[in-house]
């Protein structure tokens, strides 16, 4: 009741006290309309990303581009798991579909615009996600995970067989003459990630996401409420697959080629781990997950040799340990823990 009265009665803002200190809500006011609010946040994020890209070197720009790629994929995977409650262990295979789609299109049509190629790979992977999603809507729990796991094992092998080459397909990228290639790749991947996060943020404010959440919580109750459970699950899988396809096409750009070795089944496990550790169901958590997927192997490579079996498997072991720690200490992931710390800090400072 007190909370209701607090929302109904809005007293006039008090004059500044104690040296002009004011409430945080009075200092920072974002628009209440989701589209405008998310647009402003996206523009602010773009400015910060541009400032970061021009302040670091070429190698760091390449790593940031890869972080942006995995952010796109993990954001789509988070939509699937945190939205509809489905689990996929085959998103690396969907990335491979997007990568090979873009590379094959670019080889046969070298003058195709970059945006058109990325949209083509995204749409084609979305169609593949539609086919898989129709079957996935009939499966539950470990059965769905098993089917997607088999997909992750089969697609790279099928790609090698179909294209008759285990060396993959090379991709050509010609940046403007005044821009270094890694800076150009960084800007392409960051812009793609910002667009995807903007679209997914607006989706989370729509009735479709509310339908996803209802299906995730209780399929029977959602069905009794008039929600088509199968339609919601298929749509969630299609959107998640489209994000994976775009991420795969971008990774082909970053690697200057599409190869089956870039999409092992361990990548799917790393994506799941990054999503859980970053914060399932949150968009900022997808950014944390992308950072972990890229930088944990890099940090570990300096501590141990990747030529040994122990060194090669160490990133997966670390991700497994991180998942256990997150489940025990911060069930909502890094972003959930940061949100709780921020809320506690606001209470202490009486903002």
Domain boundaries, the chain: 34-165+182-263
Read off the pLDDT of residues 142-199 as tens digits, 9 standing for 90 and up. Answer: 777 788 888 888 888 888 778 766 678 888 888 888 888 889 999 999 999 999 999 9
Residue 74: which pLDDT band, with cuts at 50, 70 and 90? very high
The closest alpha carbon to 271, from 87, 139, 46, belongs to 87
| pLDDT at 95 (0 to 100) | 94
Q: pTM for this structure?
A: 0.85
Is it the case that residue 282 has pLDDT exceeding 60? yes
Share of the chain above pLDDT 70, in %: 85
H helix intervals, the chain: 2-8, 24-27, 34-55, 58-78, 91-108, 114-136, 141-163, 181-203, 207-217, 219-224, 229-255, 265-278, 283-301, 309-329, 333-349
Read off the pLDDT of residues 4-25 as tens digits, 9 standing for 90 and up. Answer: 444 444 445 544 444 444 444 4
| Weakest mean pLDDT among 10-24, 98-112, 295-309 | 10-24
Residue 346: which pLDDT band, with cuts at 50, 70 and 90? confident
- SS3 label, residue 69: helix
């Amino acid at each position: 009741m007190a909370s209701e009265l607090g929302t109904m009665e809005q007293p006039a803002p008090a004059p500044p006290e104690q040296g002009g200190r004011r409430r945080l809500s009075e200092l920072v006011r974002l628009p209440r309309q989701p589209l405008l609010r998310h647009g402003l946040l996206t523009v602010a994020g773009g400015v910060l990303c541009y400032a970061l890209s021009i302040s670091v070197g070429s190698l760091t720009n390449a790593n940031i581009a890869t972080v942006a790629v995995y952010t796109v994929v993990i954001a789509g995977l988070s939509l699937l798991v945190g939205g509809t409650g489905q689990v996929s262990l085959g998103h690396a295979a969907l990335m491979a579909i997007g990568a090979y789609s873009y590379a094959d299109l670019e080889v046969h049509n070298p003058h195709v615009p970059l945006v058109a190629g990325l949209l083509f790979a995204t749409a084609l992977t979305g169609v593949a996600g539609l086919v898989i999603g129709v079957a996935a809507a009939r499966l539950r729990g470990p059965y769905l995970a098993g089917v997607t796991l088999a997909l992750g094992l089969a697609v790279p092998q099928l790609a090698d067989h179909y294209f008759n080459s285990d060396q993959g397909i090379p991709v050509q990228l010609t940046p403007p003459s005044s821009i270094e290639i890694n800076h150009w790749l960084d800007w392409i991947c960051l812009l793609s990630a910002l667009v995807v996060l903007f679209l997914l943020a607006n989706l989370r404010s729509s009735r479709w996401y509310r339908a996803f959440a209802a299906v995730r919580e209780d399929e029977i109750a959602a069905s009794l409420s008039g929600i088509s459970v199968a339609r919601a699950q298929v749509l969630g899988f299609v959107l998640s697959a489209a994000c994976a396809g775009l991420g795969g096409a971008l990774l082909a750009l970053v690697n200057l080629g599409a190869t089956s070795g870039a999409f092992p089944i361990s990548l799917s496990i790393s994506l799941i781990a990054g999503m859980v550790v970053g914060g399932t169901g949150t968009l900022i958590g997808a950014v944390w997950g992308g950072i972990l997927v890229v930088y944990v192997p890099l940090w570990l490579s300096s501590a141990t040799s990747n030529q040994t079996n122990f060194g090669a498997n160490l990133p997966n072991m670390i991700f497994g340990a991180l998942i256990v720690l997150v489940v025990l200490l911060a069930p909502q992931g890094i972003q959930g823990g940061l949100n709780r710390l921020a809320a506690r800090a606001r209470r202490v400072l009486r903002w």
